[in-house]
Amino acid sequence: MSSETTGTTGAARGGGAATGRTAAASGSGAGVSTSSATAAADTRRLVAKRNRRLSHLALWLLSLVPAGLLVFDGFTMRLGINPIETITNRTGWWAMSMLAVTLAITPLRRVFGWHGLVRYRRQLGLATFIYASLHLATYAFLDLGLDLSHLGEDIIKRPFITVGFVAWLLLLALAITSTNGWIRRLGKRWALLHKAVYVIAGLALLHFFWSQKADRARPLQFLAVFAVLLGVRVVYSWLKRRRAAAQG
């Protein structure tokens, strides 16, 4: 998949900042002639591009650390008495966490003005999809042993599995349409489609709550996080409307 910018204004601004930093770093030996200035600008662009790629690579490696730890714990017998349960719970927890990090990008831009972060949002969304898929795969392949009739029955009959599966289907749709090609093709509808991330967050929370016998603490922690992330958006759009009304 592409690790290029998402083509939004925030990304462009973020890229500009990165280029600026590179220019400052390599600015000591600036040439005099125009042609060498152009060559220097080209070099700066290339360096900026390389740095961007490296930052995406670093984020990928970071995102995959929890999965790596799971594999390590598996090989060193640290997954406890019921390893499949441990893997199911940990991949589920990380899917929720990655979703929370993905949904934190917009509030961080609003509150702190860190617009460059938006460049990493697609990647974080894909990491969410990867952990959700590992979670589902653990259940379907390891837990049920790919007993398809059992899987189908669970998806239809067990509400908490139904909502979890629907959340995964929506994630799948967003993952498929996350490429630049689909962004272009869908135009304005793309933004609308990707609003489904809020539906996913709601379904995932419901899935977590309903999966618990009595323990509400862990799903409540995520509810609190999602509530804050949504709250920032609501407050911001309210302020924006008020400002617009005052000006108009």
Partner 1 sequence: MNLKRILAVPEDEVTPERLYLSRREFMRGAGVVAGAAAVSAVSTSFGQEAGAAVDELLGLGTTDEAPNTFEAITTYNNFYEFGYDKADPSRNSGDFMPSPWSVTIDGLADNTGEIALEDLVARFEVEKRIYRMRCVEAWSMVIPWNGFMLKDLIAMAAPQPEARYVAFTSVLRPEQMIGQRRNLLPFPYVEGLRLDEAMNPLVILATGLYDKPLYNANGAPIRLVVPWKYGFKGIKSIVRISFVAEEPPTTWNIMAPHEYGFYANVNPDVDHPRWSQGSERRIGEFRRRDTLPFNGYGDLVADLYAGMDLVRNY
Binding site for partner 1 (CB under 8 A): 80-82, 84-85, 142-145, 147, 150, 153-154, 157-161, 210-211, 213-215, 217
* Residues in CB range of 216: below 8 A, 6 or more apart: 209
Closest CB to partner 1 among residues 157, 195:
157
**Minimum distance, C-beta of residue 166 to partner 1, in the bound complex (Å):** 16
Q: Which ranges constitute the DSSP H helices of the chain?
A: 9-25, 34-63, 65-75, 83-112, 121-137, 148-157, 159-176, 180-186, 188-194, 196-211, 217-247
**Which CB, 157 or 188, lies closer to partner 1?**
157
Q: Quick one: 59 or 142, whose CB is closer to partner 1?
A: 142
Least distance in angstroms from the C-beta of 210 to partner 1: 6
CA distance linking residue 215 with residue 12, whole number of Å: 44
Nearer to partner 1, 42 or 153 (CB): 153
CA distance 51 to 64: 20
Q: Smallest distance from the beta carbon of 207 to partner 1, in angstroms?
A: 11
Least Å distance, CB 158 to partner 1, is 6
Question: What does the block give as tokens for 203?
Answer: 């379904």
